[in-house]
Each structure stands twice: as C-alpha cells, then as structure tokens.
Amino acid sequence: NSSLANIGDTLSFASTSQNGDYPIITYSWNFGDNNVDNDSSFVYHSYADSGEYSPSLTVSDGYLYDTKYKVDFIKIANGTNE
C-alpha cells in the first residue's frame, strides 16, 4: 500500500521497530527528497514537490543497525488541500 497526499501536506511517520538485545537509541529517517530527521521514533514531514518518494528508516542500538525502505511508498500530487 502507498500513501497519497498533496504538496505541503504534513505527513506523520512512525517506527514500528522492536528492541533487540539492547534498546534502540537512534532513529535516522530519510524521506527520499534529500531531507532527513534524526529526532525520534515519530516524526512529521511535508513534501515541496510532486512525485513518488521512497522513505527509509535506520535504527540502531549503538552496536547493530537495521534499515527498512518503502520504495515509491509516498505519492505527492500537485494539488493542495486549502
């Protein structure tokens, strides 16, 4: 399943990652549009241009890391919700 939104819409991203032997200490989001966020397991982002985007999340416990990609998961249309 993909997500459809318009330019400027605020989208929420939430990690469903589970702790391994050690707790997750870093969340590195890449929204697929040359923007990143390292704040937390739940973040907001809006896209400035239409197109299809492939966001990813890398989590780490300080020893190991894992990255999940969602290829062409976000589809941004030219319209606005105003």
Going by C-alpha positions, the residue among 33, 40, 41 that lies closest to residue 5 is 33
Written as one string, the DSSP assignment of 28-67 is EEE-SSS-EE-S-SEEEEE-SS-EEE--EEEEE-SS-EEE
Give the span between the Cα atoms of 58 and 27, in whole angstroms. 6
Phi, psi of 12 (to 5 degrees): -105, 145
Task: Provide the pLDDT for residue 58.
Answer: 97
Pairing, β 51-53 against β 74-77: antiparallel
Q: Each residue's pLDDT tens digit in the chain (82 positions)?
A: 677 999 999 999 999 999 999 999 999 999 999 999 998 999 999 999 999 999 999 999 999 999 999 999 999 998 755 4
Task: Provide the pLDDT for residue 52.
Answer: 96
Task: Provide the pLDDT for residue 80.
Answer: 54
Task: Provide the pLDDT for residue 79.
Answer: 74
